[in-house]
Chains A and B, each alone.
Chain A
Amino acid sequence: MSAAATTVRGADLLRYALRLGDLSLVLGQRLGEWVGHAPAIEEDLGLANIALDLIGQARLLLGYAGEIEGRGRGEDEIAFLREHGEYLNPVLAEQPNGDFGQTVVRQVLIDVFQLELYGRLADSADARLAAIAGKSVKETRYHLRYSGGWLVRLGDGTAESRARVQSALERLWPYTVELFAEDDVDRALAACAVAPPLAAIQTAWSARIDQLLGEATLERPRDRPYAWFGKRGEHSEHLGYLLADMQHLQRTYPGARW
């Protein structure tokens, strides 16, 4: 048992790569919905650029997942031809954009998670994940400068902007529980130094979020019970609509290329 725990199982690694890749892909797709609709041209560009980075990270992670799987599926087939229940992103990523404030709150919660995750994953025993994380963490720092900057401006802004981001925070906070909910895949990969332990990420995430909320004069919501597990393929109703939008072209014209 203890000997087995130190060997990386392909099935675990595949699931882990899909979880991280799906998180980036689904969040990137959501941010892409802002293109042409953001409050100002600078925000349009900012959100689109962050979406682009996230989709780039997803390509690297899903491409790797395809290689681990070994059935000849590439990044496009994995992204565009999987069903709802095969997506393993946390439910937080698929939550609707709402107003700009809600998008900012969702982004801060996930940016800090990815920052703390990638910073540690860059030292992974798995060279490929380490390389992807080492590249991604540099981009994530810019994402957080953007989202964190807006959180402070809106939170410490007008009564209206503060009320909106506080309410978005209350609405999205319950979904953060899943980011740190450890299962057998996380434990097995942590045991062989492939994945950083979620407990360490949670501690760092919590401290950084508290600091940002303090600057933004926002109140940290209370933790509540949680019922969704996207990382097991159990999603909210929102993912289906997102996938229908994202996968429409490939499903209607299989193999279509730009």
Chain B
Amino acid sequence: MKPSSAPIDAPARAPADERVAAAWRALCAVEDPEIPALGIVDLGIVRCVEIGADDVLRVGLSPTYSGCPATDVIRRAVEQALGDAGAGRFVVTTMLAPPWTSDWITPEGRDKLAAYGIVPPPNTVSAARQLLADDRPVACPRCQSADTECVSQFGSTPCKALHRCRACLEPFEAFKCI
């Protein structure tokens, strides 16, 4: 296996800003394995990309849910992407605090979720909503009716709840506020 493009240490000699920017570009291309419509940067789980005094590029990832099976897959995909992009020496760390919140999903991420048929979480302070168990109905992504009900707080992945539209009778998923 020989590197087909530039020598592996070339980007390491690039200016620090360019190295960080290149890392961000590489990370933007990494998809969430369970919601391929969404990139991990859209999801807001990339918390930092920085170069330390030791010239090592540090990438901090914040897992969405403690038990999300995608976490390990994402980590490997990130390492692969950084390696392919020739990011030089790097280390990927898990950042638990502050805990990830659905508020960190970017506006672009919310648009992509909606286009994919998953209702994005309300763009407000999730913690307060969750604390108050705010269960106001979400509009159906297919017919826009507000006459919907939550069938289960737990959908096909930990981050989504299962809803049903009473108007068009279709089931749909909504991203949970957390």
Instruction: Kindly state whether residue B1 has any CB partner on chain A within 8 Å.
Output: no
Residue of B nearest to A132 (CB): B96
Of residues 102 to 160 in B, which have CB atoms within 8 Å of A's CB atoms? 127, 130-131, 133, 151-156, 158
What is the minimal beta-carbon distance from A41 to any residue of chain B, in angstroms?
A: 9
B residues in contact with A132, CB < 8 Å: 96
Partner of A45, one of B97, B133, B152: B152
Of residues 38 to 74 in B, which have CB atoms within 8 Å of A's CB atoms? 63, 65-69
Instruction: Kindly state whether residue B99 has any CB partner on chain A within 8 Å.
Output: yes
What is the minimal beta-carbon distance from B43 to any residue of chain A, in angstroms?
A: 16
What is the minimal beta-carbon distance from A258 to any residue of chain B, in angstroms?
A: 10
What is the minimal beta-carbon distance from A29 to any residue of chain B, in angstroms?
A: 12
Residue of B nearest to A51 (CB): B67
What is the minimal beta-carbon distance from A146 to any residue of chain B, in angstroms?
A: 6
Instruction: Kindly state whether residue A57 has any CB partner on chain B within 8 Å.
Output: yes
Instruction: Kindly state whether residue A33 has any CB partner on chain B within 8 Å.
Output: no
Residue of A nearest to B68 (CB): A56
Instruction: Kindly state whether residue B176 has any CB partner on chain A within 8 Å.
Output: yes
On whether A56 and B65 interact (CB within 8 A), knowing A134-B96, A138-B130, the answer reads: yes
Interface majority SS (helix, strand, loop, mixed), chain A: helix
Docked Cα-Cα span, A221 to B178, in Å, equals 34
B66, A139: Cβ atoms closer than 8 Å: yes
Partner of B65, one of A48, A51, A52, A145: A52
Interface majority SS (helix, strand, loop, mixed), chain B: loop
The number of residue pairs between A and B whose CB atoms lie closer than 8 Å in the complex comes to 79
- Find the residue from B97, B162, B178 having the highest chain A CB count within 10 A: B97
What is the minimal beta-carbon distance from B24 to any residue of chain A, in angstroms?
A: 25
Residue of B nearest to A148 (CB): B133
B97, A56: Cβ atoms closer than 8 Å: no
A53, B67: Cβ atoms closer than 8 Å: yes
Instruction: Kindly state whether residue A135 has any CB partner on chain B within 8 Å.
Output: yes
Interface residues on B, range: 20 to 34
B178, A57: Cβ atoms closer than 8 Å: no
Instruction: Kindly state whether residue A59 has any CB partner on chain B within 8 Å.
Output: yes
Partner of A42, one of B63, B131, B133, B151: B151
B residues in contact with A48, CB < 8 Å: 154
- Find the residue from A45, A55, A127, A145 having the highest chain B CB count within 10 A: A45
Q: What would 22 A/B residue contacts be, using CB atoms closer than 8 Å?
A: A43-B152, A45-B162, A46-B152, A53-B65, A53-B66, A53-B67, A53-B158, A54-B67, A55-B67, A127-B97, A132-B96, A134-B99, A135-B96, A138-B99, A138-B101, A138-B130, A138-B178, A141-B130, A141-B133, A142-B154, A145-B133, A145-B153
